[in-house]
Amino acid sequence: MHVAIIGGTGHIGGYLTPMLVESGYQVTCVSRGVKKPYRDHAAWKSIAYAHLDRDVEERTGSFGENVAKIGAEAVIDLTCYHPSSATQLVEGLRGRVGHLIHCGTIWIHGHSTIVPTTEDVPRHPFGDYGIRKSTIETYLVKQAKETGFPVTLLHPGHLVGTGWAPINPCGNFNPEVFSALKNGDEIRIPNFGMETVHHIHCEDVAQAFLLALKQRDAGLGQSFHIVSESALTLRGYAEQMGEWFGKPAHMKLLLWDEWKQGFTEKEVATTEDHMRHSPNCSIEKARGLLGYKPRYTSLQAVQESVTWLMQNGIV
């Protein structure tokens, strides 16, 4: 089967594109050809590339049509951030592909209510990104219901893999937090440290896309969370990482306004966004309908990534 993967050289694509090749799919990667994949793999030489700039092509209205012209039976869209992007792709592909698998995010939920959050609860998204991704989800599910458009939606948590820093126990991307834990130095945790983060190793995201491809009919018109087995509290995350480094985590719990003073504006905004969402999502639906079984726990995924950060002198 021929699969076109839009954004196939990024965090998810770095695992998914090689996995598709190893599973026998003919693969065409749609990207600008600017980004070097995070991981080396023989697959990068065996796939076809369609160099399209989505932003430019969407402005002229040709992106959906040009993806359809690739002639793939299935399309995986990893880079849909605007409702208008989803509309253009659907209109271009309608009647011309057998399956579109869209990459969403658990940010579609906004804050959690009853946890673990299931896919069927009402959405309360906030923030520009979460609202746009939720609007896209509503549109795609409606297209499936009302027009029979063959789409499946996968919603990952915080992406983890080798080659970049994962969300840390302070809820942002500053790798110095891991360095402090490694050295037994104090780290500043906001509030009581009971807000949560929900990671996912990109190999498990890739596994889920493959399962959705193989079990097309089970996933049509459906949304699935793709996260690790369990979310982590920030303080529990710090404690477990301290244990892994062989140094008890030396944590200072600080009220939000006081905590903010130790970080940059961007880090504060990232932490605030993660704390306000405090995701904790269920994987029961993906497990039941797709047979999804994550290989990595959140901590295993983070520890593999931090090992890479240490090997590269970042931590």
Contacting residues toward ligand NAP, per CB under 6 A: 7-13, 31-35, 52-55, 78-80, 103, 105, 133, 156, 158-159
- Kindly state the smallest distance separating residue 32's Cβ from ligand NAP, in Å: 3
Q: Residue 120 corresponds to which tokens in the numbers above? A: 């069927």
In angstroms, what is the C-alpha Rg of the chain? Answer: 20
- Kindly state the smallest distance separating residue 67's Cβ from ligand NAP, in Å: 10
Tell me whether residue 86 or residue 249 sits nearer to ligand NAP (CB atom).
86
Interatomic CA distance for residues 8 and 92, integer angstroms: 19
> Smallest Cα–Cα separation from 111: which of 255, 268, 233, 275?
275
- Kindly state the smallest distance separating residue 298's Cβ from ligand NAP, in Å: 13
φ, ψ for residue 98, nearest 5 deg: -90, -15
Residue nearest to ligand NAP (CB): 10
- Kindly state the smallest distance separating residue 185's Cβ from ligand NAP, in Å: 26
- Kindly state the smallest distance separating residue 261's Cβ from ligand NAP, in Å: 26
Structural contact between residues 314 and 175, judged by C-beta atoms closer than 8 angstroms = yes
Tell me whether residue 13 or residue 83 sits nearer to ligand NAP (CB atom).
13
> Smallest Cα–Cα separation from 206: which of 297, 134, 103?
103
Name 124's Cβ contacts closer than 8 Å, sequence gap at least 6: 109, 110, 111, 113
- Kindly state the smallest distance separating residue 6's Cβ from ligand NAP, in Å: 7
Tell me whether residue 219 or residue 242 sits nearer to ligand NAP (CB atom).
219
- Kindly state the smallest distance separating residue 315's Cβ from ligand NAP, in Å: 19
Distance, CA of 297 to chain centre: 15
* Cβ-based neighbour number of residue 308 at 10 Å: 17
Helix axes 234-245 and 176-183, enclosed angle (nearest 10)? 50
Tell me whether residue 33 or residue 71 sits nearer to ligand NAP (CB atom).
33
- Kindly state the smallest distance separating residue 93's Cβ from ligand NAP, in Å: 16
Tell me whether residue 108 or residue 290 sits nearer to ligand NAP (CB atom).
108
DSSP 38-86: SS--THHHHSEEEE--HHHHHHHT-HHHHHHHT--SEEEES---SHHHH
Are β-strands 196-197 and 232-233 bridged in parallel, bridged antiparallel, or unpaired? antiparallel
Tell me whether residue 81 or residue 244 sits nearer to ligand NAP (CB atom).
81
Bond from prior residue into 175 cis (ω within 30 degrees of 0)? no
Tell me whether residue 133 or residue 242 sits nearer to ligand NAP (CB atom).
133
Tell me whether residue 115 or residue 255 sits nearer to ligand NAP (CB atom).
115
